[in-house]
A and B are shown apart, each in its own frame.
Chain A
């Protein structure tokens, strides 16, 4: 248990569905991240939130819509996805401005788009 919880662990959705991924951190951190991990590719940064404000968007398609209502919760809203969006989606958090800025990851949501 790293203190970062992601739900659901697995998700299968059709291309016309709308779903949301949820991430919650219990570490008192102020920065949260979404990463995408596809087979045989390095982890790709999607979004960064610092104190609930989006500070980085790595040219992610608009069919992925992040939401950060507070420093402890992060969502990724999904709609009209493509099969190539199938991947492991990882959430992470860190304490910005605290020296090491070590990242702590959740267990991920394995997404399959049919």
Chain B
């Protein structure tokens, strides 16, 4: 059974710092991995999606990497801003031939960027 773990559970940094959020998964047989952002009481916003054949994806100040063989992904946030404060979730998708379409989520990292 796939399990996804995110470390740390919570993180507080001063504005301007570069930071790394970690995600690990137990079964390396994945179709893709997605990073989401969730603001309190709200839905999830997709940030980056990495296919299993890819190593990284970039969007603005965000960079996500994937090492499928070791079951790890990182989300790098450059020059953090108070508006980045949110919970960041990673999720993996099962291979399509399993017939399972849903994602398995980690518990998230709650980020607070201090002005």
User: Could you tell me which A residues sit within 8 Å of B by CB distance?
Assistant: 2, 4, 6, 31, 33, 40-43, 45, 48, 50, 55-56, 58, 88, 90, 92, 94, 96, 100-108, 110
Contacts and interface: CB of A to CB of B under 8 A. Distances in A.
Contact of A45 (B32, B41, B44, B102): B102
A95 B32 CA distance: 14
A55 B99 CA distance: 8
B42 A108 contact: yes
Interface stretch (B14-22, B61-69, B77-85, B103-111): B103-111
A101 B32 contact: yes
Contact of B101 (A4, A41, A56, A108): A56
Contact of A108 (B43, B99, B104): B43
Contact count band on B: 20 to 34
Interface of B: 4, 31-32, 34, 36, 41-46, 49, 51, 89, 91, 93, 96, 99-108
Q: Which of B49, B96, B104, B105 has the most CB of A within 10 A?
A: B105
Contact of B103 (A103, A106, A107): A103
A25 to B, nearest CB: 12
Contacts of B102: 33, 45, 48, 56, 58
B106 A2 contact: no
Contacts of A101: 31-32, 93, 96, 101
Given A42-B4, A96-B101, A110-B41, 12 more contacts: A2-B45, A4-B43, A42-B107, A43-B91, A45-B102, A90-B43, A101-B32, A102-B49, A103-B46, A105-B44, A107-B42, A108-B43
